[in-house]
Amino acid sequence: MTTNDRPGDGGRPEPAPTEKVRPPRPKRARSSAVARSVAAAASIAAPEPVAPPAPAPHVLIIGGGGTGGALAHDLALRGLRVTLVERGEVTSGSTGKHHGLLHSGARYATTDRAAAIDCITENKILRRICPGSFEENDGLFVALTDEDVEFEKQFVEACWLCAVPTKRLGREAALRMEPGLNPNLRFAYQVPDATMDAMRVPLRFMATARRNGADIRPFTEVVAVTMTGRTVSGVRVRDHAAGRDYEIGADIVVNAAGPWAARVASLAGVNVPVVASPGVLVAVRGRHVNMVVNRLHAPGDGDIVLPQRLRTVVGTSSWIADDPDELAVRAADVELIVRESAALVPAVARAEVTATWSAARPLVQAPVPAARKRVATRREAATAPAAPAPAGAGRGLARDLRCFDHATDATPTEGFVTIAGGKATTLRAMAEAAADVVCSKLGLALPCRTTDIVLLPHSAWYSA
Amino acid sequence: MSPRDARPEEPAAAVGSVEVVQSVEPETAAPAAPARPGTHFHISRRKQGDPKPHFQNFEIEVEPGATVLDALLQIRRRHDPSLVVRHSCMHAACGTCGVRINGREALACDTKLATLPTHKPIKVEPLANQRPVADLATDMVDFYARLDAAAMPLLRASETAGGATPPENIKAFARFENCIECGLCLSACPIARTNHDYIGPAALAAAARVVEEPRRHDLGPVLALAAEPDSVWRCRDAIECTAVCPSSVDPARALLTLRRHVAANGARRFLARR
């Protein structure tokens, strides 16, 4: 248990000096319709958490992006006490800024088979648990050049190996389906990509987590990690909305800060090999495609074009940044991305650019230990023994998503876990991997239940 | 100055009723006629527990092509980490960064600094007609309560109705509604300023879309809601909602459509009773 706990309250987060995070809402006469709606929203059935061990351990999550939100949901379902802190609005880091592509895995099939398998697995799960959050318009991989044509065999074989379904379309069929394409295309492959609201899918995880008791606090920045020796006992936070600092005690602190993970870990004197790898994205006016359009080649710059309502988003590029807060929007990248994507969808070149921005991927720069490469089946993961397992075990994911139990570092730090890497599409799997590590550290055999439970709508996040 | 600004002050609880307390920082005082690239900002500040907001001035150098949101985040990074501002997607898709810029509702990420007048500081305030969180952030809970009361859940459900994708018919699965749920229209609405029960433009636009394209939904509850006293007949056609909408939803026209349906439905029911 932690140093800040009051006796017998089982790791309850220390309440702020004034109990409420937000001021009491002014009483205001509601119209009957609005009142009915609030009542209806409150009555949406939330999945029941499992009976928690008493007293339930308290897990504090740093970072309110997709991973942190999904982890709060996973741990709340397992019956643990959860507090999540985020320095800004939720999803204001990298999560909200991605292009909004639900990957089928086809993009990674030729370069990172394991990531592709994760993507197609999670793609299917997310469609099931987030109904209504995706435009299920599918994606196309379009061959334009002789080189693209040569790449076909490799692409199809890789997709088959990863169980990513593909369907070959001739030029005419592809143009019928997506008239915005370059008419000089050779052929295309249809895959189960989809588009989503980058913010709303994570909000559904957070809304459901909160309904199950998780305490999610935006505008609350971690300024220090409190420690007893080499054991993390909680965090000191600054509440920017109220303008004051306070401490929160925890049994385990999970660093889910994405590209900021190394900075957060340094507060505990821990090194995490995560760097910020930003890419530039460009939004142009007009909905020039209805499907996700990719180039049929190895992943490169400016080879994704997808619709976001009445605009079209194109991306992206990649470099390494020193500071995830200071991401330049490189003019040369914007030019390159528009040029490359216009080869796929010519209208992009003529459209007004309405926004350019950079989003930082959390890139893990550590070799994958051989022992963690094995992909466990879901059944094995669900029945994992309670005995402490090595970090990153459970589903044995690894590759670009990694969970570090810092108790196994060269200089061990107890009570501190970092989850990093991954993609927006794999947020639930990242949460499962981190939650498995948290539970095994706590000696609890609590199965993951997030694969089948349908999440509340994103609007439930804003319910009173 | 828009007609909205001349309206009476609203109750103190709402964040729109900013009584300006000048609290000019000495080092950035009196920005009379600033020349770029040093751009002056006049930002509404209010922490929880503060009785009322005050303004704080910042002068920063911005990159060419920067938006108001770029500038606010730069202020937060380099000058004052305590500045509370909501944001997420950076390209007018998520609807999170709505504020009032020089008195006008806009998405901060969709407003380039180059489009704003240079002879005065850029005034940034939180949205009106919503509960304050702190500084530029407001709580969207009332906005969503209205959307849910209207037909928005039906609208969202119908977006992907049908499931799998028949290739020949791919356009049928294009997103049905374009509302990004930013709340600008509710902030700009002069009726919502004085009548907190008014269901508001976004919700009525959602209801109108359901009525126009029923997609097998039962329209009874939607039309009944629209016929309530604080609904379609409360609007006085200021059309501020359509003027500020960043996503071409045109709530004002949708509301006129809905009025027609409500009237026709009322007449039908009246005749059926006789």
Same domain (yes/no): A289, A327: yes
Residue keyed to tokens 């913010």 = A199
Q: Average pLDDT for residues B141-165, to the nearest whole number?
A: 70
Q: What is the pLDDT of residue A194?
A: 94
Q: Taking a C-beta distance cutoff of 8 angstroms, is the pair A194, A123 a contact?
A: yes
What are the pLDDT digits (tens) for A345-402? 999 999 999 999 999 999 888 765 544 444 433 333 333 333 333 333 333 333 578 8
Pairing between β-strand B38-45 and β-strand B122-125 as defined by DSSP bridges: parallel
Q: Which of residues 32-91 of A touch B (CB under 8 A)?
A: 32-34, 36-38, 40-41, 88-89, 91
Chain B: closest CA distance from residue A257 (Å):
15
Same domain (yes/no): B148, B251: yes
The closest alpha carbon to A386, from A335, A347, A330, A439, belongs to: A439
Chain A: closest CA distance from residue B132 (Å):
9
ipTM over 0.85: no
Does residue A290 sit at the B interface (CB-CB below 8 Å)? yes
Q: Which amino acid is at A181?
A: L
Inter-chain residue contact A173 with B157, CB threshold 8 Å = no
Does residue B10 sit at the A interface (CB-CB below 8 Å)? no
- Of residues B159 and A317, more confidence is placed in A317
C-alpha count within 13 angstroms, C-beta hemisphere, residue B64:
2
Q: Which of A44-48, A163-167, A196-200, A408-412 has the lowest mean pLDDT?
A: A44-48
Inter-chain residue contact A96 with B85, CB threshold 8 Å = no
Partner residue facing B91 (CB), from A37, A240, A311: A311
Measured N-to-C along each axis, helices A66-77 and A427-441 cross at an angle, to the nearest 10 degrees, of 50
Measured N-to-C along each axis, helices B141-149 and A32-43 cross at an angle, to the nearest 10 degrees, of 100
Inter-chain residue contact A355 with B91, CB threshold 8 Å = yes
Q: What is the pLDDT of residue B63?
A: 87
| Separation of CA B52 from chain center | 22
What are the pLDDT digits (tens) for A303-321? 999 998 888 999 999 999 9
Same domain (yes/no): B149, B221: yes
Residue keyed to tokens 């994405």 = A258
Longest alpha-carbon distance in chain A: 72
**Summary mean pLDDT of chain A:** 85
What are the pLDDT digits (tens) for B22-34? 444 444 444 444 4
> Where are the extended beta strands (E) located within B16-126?
38-45, 54-61, 98-101, 104-107, 122-125
Above 60 in pLDDT, residue B16?
Answer: no
Q: Which of A254-268, A433-447, B167-181 has the lowest mean pLDDT?
A: B167-181
3-state secondary structure of B133: strand
Q: What is the pLDDT of residue B247?
A: 86
Residue A68: phi and psi, rounded to 5, are: -60, -40
Rounded CA gap, A93 and A259, in Å?
9
Residue keyed to tokens 């942190």 = A68
Confidence of residue A328 (pLDDT cuts 50, 70, 90): confident
Chain B: closest CA distance from residue A194 (Å):
11
Count up the domains in chain A and report the number: 2
* Residue A31, phi-psi category: left (phi > 0), alpha (psi -120 to 50), beta (remainder): beta
Q: What is the pLDDT of residue A47?
A: 62
CB-CB neighbours of A349 under 10 Å: 12
Residue keyed to tokens 């029911």 = B269
Same domain (yes/no): B61, B103: yes
Closest Cα in chain B to A21: B48
End position of a domain, from candidates B138, B164, B192:
B138
Assigned token pair, A416: 């501190």
Rounded CA gap, B202 and B145, in Å?
11
Same domain (yes/no): B129, B33: yes
Q: What is the pLDDT of residue A299?
A: 86
Q: Which domain holds residue A429?
A: 51-94+199-273+366-462
Q: Taking a C-beta distance cutoff of 8 angstroms, is the pair B213, A47 a contact?
A: no
User: What is the share, in percent, of chain A residues with pLDDT greater than 90?
Assistant: 72
Inter-chain residue contact B89 with A198, CB threshold 8 Å = yes
Rounded CA gap, B39 and B31, in Å?
9
Q: Average pLDDT for residues B208-223, to the nearest whole number?
A: 79
What are the pLDDT digits (tens) for A89-127? 999 999 999 999 999 999 999 988 889 999 999 999 999
What are the pLDDT digits (tens) for B95-143? 999 999 999 999 999 999 999 998 999 999 999 999 999 999 999 999 9
Same domain (yes/no): B229, B198: yes
Same domain (yes/no): B11, B134: yes
Partner residue facing A97 (CB), from B86, B89, B167: B89
State how far the alpha carbon of A29 is from the alpha carbons of A129, A216, A274, B51, B185, in Å: 35, 28, 50, 22, 21
Does residue A309 sit at the B interface (CB-CB below 8 Å)? yes
Rounded CA gap, A360 and A305, in Å?
19
C-alpha count within 13 angstroms, C-beta hemisphere, residue A259:
26
User: What is the share, in percent, of chain B residues with pLDDT greater than 90?
Assistant: 51
Inter-chain residue contact B92 with A135, CB threshold 8 Å = no
A380 beta partners: none
Interacting residues of A410 by C-beta distance below 8 A, sequence separation 6+ = none
Count up the domains in chain B and report the number: 2
Does residue B114 sit at the A interface (CB-CB below 8 Å)? no
- Of residues B63 and A20, more confidence is placed in B63
Interacting residues of A77 by C-beta distance below 8 A, sequence separation 6+ = A47, A49, A50, A212, A448, A449, A450, A453
Same domain (yes/no): B235, B116: no
Q: Taking a C-beta distance cutoff of 8 angstroms, is the pair A397, A118 a contact?
A: yes
Closest Cα in chain B to A95: B88
Same domain (yes/no): B10, B55: yes
A401 beta partners: A421
Please, what sign has the CA dihedral across residues A279, A283, A288, A292? positive
Measured N-to-C along each axis, helices B201-212 and B152-159 cross at an angle, to the nearest 10 degrees, of 50
Q: What is the pLDDT of residue B32?
A: 46
Assigned token pair, A64: 């309110």
Residue A120 lies in a domain: no
What are the pLDDT digits (tens) for A2-32? 334 333 344 444 444 444 444 444 444 444 5
Q: What is the pLDDT of residue A5?
A: 37
Same domain (yes/no): A295, A189: yes
Rounded CA gap, B89 and B83, in Å?
18
What are the pLDDT digits (tens) for A181-222? 999 999 999 999 999 989 999 999 999 999 999 999 999 999
Residue keyed to tokens 């339930």 = A56
Inter-chain residue contact B180 with A309, CB threshold 8 Å = yes
Q: Taking a C-beta distance cutoff of 8 angstroms, is the pair B67, B111 a contact?
A: yes
The closest alpha carbon to A359, from A423, A297, A450, belongs to: A423
| Separation of CA B111 from chain center | 14
End position of a domain, from candidates B138, B167, B187:
B138
Same domain (yes/no): A205, A335: no
Torsion angle defined by CA atoms of residues A399, A451, A460 and B153, in that order, rounded to the nearest 10 degrees: 110
Same domain (yes/no): B149, B262: yes
Confidence of residue B208 (pLDDT cuts 50, 70, 90): confident
**Summary mean pLDDT of chain B:** 81
Same domain (yes/no): B118, B176: no
End position of a domain, from candidates A363, A390, A416:
A363
Closest Cα in chain B to A28: B196
Same domain (yes/no): A236, A291: no
Chosen for mutation from A21, A22, A34 (greatest number of chain B CBs closer than 10 Å) is: A34
The closest alpha carbon to A283, from A249, A251, A306, A252, belongs to: A306
Above 60 in pLDDT, residue B257?
Answer: yes
Q: Which amino acid is at B75?
A: I
Confidence of residue B154 (pLDDT cuts 50, 70, 90): confident
Closest Cα in chain B to A191: B165
Same domain (yes/no): A222, A266: yes
Rounded CA gap, A310 and A320, in Å?
31
Same domain (yes/no): A455, A388: yes
Any idea what the CATH number is for the domain that residue B187 is in? 1.10.1060.10
Same domain (yes/no): B114, B228: no
The closest alpha carbon to A49, from A458, A447, A464, belongs to: A447
Above 70 in pLDDT, residue A463?
Answer: yes
Q: What is the pLDDT of residue A309?
A: 80
Inter-chain residue contact B134 with A281, CB threshold 8 Å = no
Confidence of residue B157 (pLDDT cuts 50, 70, 90): low
Rg (C-alpha) for chain B, rounded Å, is 21
Measured N-to-C along each axis, helices A113-129 and A427-441 cross at an angle, to the nearest 10 degrees, of 100
Residue B42: phi and psi, rounded to 5, are: -125, 100
Q: What is the pLDDT of residue A374?
A: 40
Q: What is the pLDDT of residue B175?
A: 38
End position of a domain, from candidates B138, B155, B170:
B138
Same domain (yes/no): A302, A350: yes
End position of a domain, from candidates A346, A363, A380:
A363
Same domain (yes/no): A431, A330: no
What are the pLDDT digits (tens) for A273-306? 999 999 999 999 988 998 999 999 988 899 999 9
3-state secondary structure of B100: strand
State how far the alpha carbon of A451 is from the alpha carbons of A70, A78, A84, A201, in Å: 11, 13, 21, 15
Partner residue facing A177 (CB), from B47, B144, B170: B170
Rounded CA gap, B133 and B53, in Å?
12
CB-CB neighbours of B9 under 10 Å: 11
Does residue B194 sit at the A interface (CB-CB below 8 Å)? no
Burial of A72 (0-12, 13-18, 19+ CB in 10 A): buried
Query: Among the ranges A358-372, A397-411, B252-266, which has the highest mean pLDDT value?
Result: B252-266
Chain A: closest CA distance from residue B111 (Å):
9
Does residue B69 sit at the A interface (CB-CB below 8 Å)? no
The closest alpha carbon to B181, from B219, B142, B212, belongs to: B142
Does residue B202 sit at the A interface (CB-CB below 8 Å)? no
Q: Taking a C-beta distance cutoff of 8 angstroms, is the pair A277, A361 a contact?
A: yes
Residue A6: phi and psi, rounded to 5, are: -75, 155
Same domain (yes/no): B206, B120: no
Rounded CA gap, B233 and B236, in Å?
8
Q: Average pLDDT for residues B205-217, to the nearest whole number?
A: 79
Any idea what the CATH number is for the domain that residue B76 is in? 3.10.20.30
| Separation of CA B226 from chain center | 20
- Of residues B16 and A183, more confidence is placed in A183
Same domain (yes/no): A330, A379: no
Rounded CA gap, B68 and B91, in Å?
12
Same domain (yes/no): A375, A257: yes
Chain B: closest CA distance from residue A136 (Å):
7
Above 70 in pLDDT, residue B10?
Answer: no
State how far the alpha carbon of B136 is from the alpha carbons of A241, B6, B131, B139, in Å: 10, 22, 11, 10
Residue A435 lies in a domain: yes
Q: Which domain holds residue B118?
A: 3-138
A461 beta partners: none
**B131-157 b/e (C-beta count within 10 Å ≥ 16 → b):** bbbbbbbbbbbbbbbbbbbbbbbbbbb
